Homo-oligomer: A and B are copies of this chain.
C-alpha cells in the first residue's frame, strides 16, 4: 500500500496516534494552524533546523527507514547539545514520493519518535507534502537554556585545549564500505551526546563547543574562526573509529561528536564531568595567530578545508 492510497489526513492521523500525550507546556500540538508552547521560565529559546535528503544523506537500500527517522532527529539534537540547550519541541516536515510504502512511512515516524522519547522531545507539528523527487525530511528543534550557560562557537581563546568526544571517522568508513560492498554493510545510528553537552554547560567546564557534523577538521576551523583564533590539531592524537583512516577521521563528516574548547586550568574538572558518559580526548589547542595547522607523524602542515555540501 502506498501513501497516496490513504491520503494526507490518514497519514497525519497515523502520526498523531503514535505521539505520546503532550506535557503541560504544550498548549496546542498537532492539528491547529500552528503549535503553541509556553517558554521555559528564565530561559532563552534555542532553535536549529537540519534536513536529510535521500541519495545525499542516506540510501533506502542501505538504511532502514527507522534509522532514517532516528537520524533526522539525532542530527538536530546534536546541534542543541553543542549549545548546551535542552531540546523540548520538534516539527517534522516531510516531502515524500506518492509511491512510498505506508510501512516505510510508519517506520520513519517510529524511528523519529523512538529518539524523541529517549531525549524527551515532543513532536508538536509539521507538514506533509508529496514530491516528484527524493524523500526530504526537515526537522526544526526548539530547546531552552539559561542564557549564561550557553556554549557559543565564539567562546574560544588562545591556549584553550580542544577536546573531542568518542571517536571520529566511523561514518565515513561505513559509507565507503557500503559504496564498495553494497547493502550488506549495515549503517549505524549517530551517537547522541546530549547528556555530555548539558553536563559540560551546566558545570561551566568549557568555553565553546561545536558539533562535528562535517568532519573534525571543519569543526576545528569553524570554532577557531568564530572565536577569532587559529588552531593546532594533532592528528596523531585523534581517536579514530575502528578501521577508519586518518583522512576519514579528519574530513569524513557525519560523526556527530562534540568538540569543546577548554581552558587549561579546567582540564581536570572537564575530563571528570564530560568523561562520565563518553571518552573525551585532547586533540589540539587554540592559538593566537589565525592559522590552522595539523601535525601528523610529527610534521606540521596547514589544515585543509572541510566538507562542502555543494
Residues of A within 8 A of B (CB): 3-4, 6-9, 11, 27-28, 31-39, 44-51, 53, 55-57, 79-80, 82-83, 85, 89, 91, 93, 95-96, 98, 124-134, 136, 138, 140, 142-143, 145, 147, 150, 152-154, 209-211, 226, 308-310
Contact = CB atoms under 8 A, between A and B. Distances in A.
B150 A36 contact: yes
Contacts of A126: 49
Given A47-B125, A49-B93, 17 more contacts: A7-B308, A27-B150, A33-B48, A33-B82, A33-B83, A33-B211, A34-B46, A34-B83, A37-B46, A45-B45, A47-B140, A49-B125, A49-B140, A51-B129, A53-B131, A53-B133, A133-B133
Contact of A138 (B33, B89, B93): B93
Contact of A45 (B82, B85, B142): B142
Contacts of A130: 53, 56, 309-310
A91 to B, nearest CB: 4
* Closest 3 A/B residue pairs (Cβ): A133-B133, A34-B48, A39-B39
A129 B56 contact: yes
Nearest to A150: B36
B45 A153 contact: no
A89 to B, nearest CB: 7
A117 to B, nearest CB: 20
23 contacts: A9-B308, A31-B153, A33-B80, A33-B210, A34-B48, A34-B85, A34-B143, A36-B47, A36-B145, A36-B147, A39-B45, A49-B138, A49-B140, A50-B127, A53-B129, A53-B133, A56-B131, A57-B129, A128-B309, A130-B310, A133-B133, A136-B138, A142-B142
